[in-house]
Amino acid sequence: MTTKKQTEGAVETLPQIETPKMYKVILLNDDYTPMDFVILILRRFFAKSEEESTKIMLDVHKKWSGVAGVFTLEIAEMKVMQVNQFARSNQHPLKCMMEPE
Ligand code: TYC
């Protein structure tokens, strides 16, 4: 898309940058996944500090879901796949999903 801008009589055509749609990557609570494992996921896949990871994990634990991060479509899809795969391969029922922001 382009837009026209008037600068001192001259009309300039500027490229219009579209802002990409963003997606929330959400962790769901369950009764079995160890808290330390959830913290490990937040540190490993979402680059959160120990403190921030603990805060998000406890938030999910209390409210049954919480946002681990917000990403563009392809990155969000990759995070969801990686987290679900990592949980499954460690025999934990933790589930990760995404939704439009
Ligand atoms: N509820 C879990 C427990 O008490 C901890 C937990 C937190 C599990 C967040 C999943 O996404 C989750 N061990």
Looking from the CA of 40 toward its CB, the CA atoms found within 13 Å total: 12
pTM of the full predicted structure? 0.86
Average pLDDT, the chain: 92
Task: Give the number of other CB atoms < 10 A from CB of residue 46.
Answer: 18
The pLDDT of residue 9: 61
Is the Cβ atom of 53 under 6 angstroms away from ligand 1? no
Residue nearest to atom 13 of ligand 1 (CA): 34
Q: Model confidence over 26-38: pLDDT tens digits?
A: 999 999 999 999 9
Q: Model confidence over 31-65: pLDDT tens digits?
A: 999 999 999 999 999 999 999 999 999 999 999 99
pLDDT of residue 6 exceeding 70: no
Kindly give the distance from the C-alpha atom of residue 48 to the centroid of ligand 1, in angstroms, as a whole number: 17
How far is C-alpha 44 from the geometric centre of its chain's CA atoms?
13
pLDDT of residue 7 exceeding 90: no
Kindly give the distance from the C-alpha atom of residue 29 to the centroid of ligand 1, in angstroms, as a whole number: 5
Residue nearest to atom 4 of ligand 1 (CA): 31
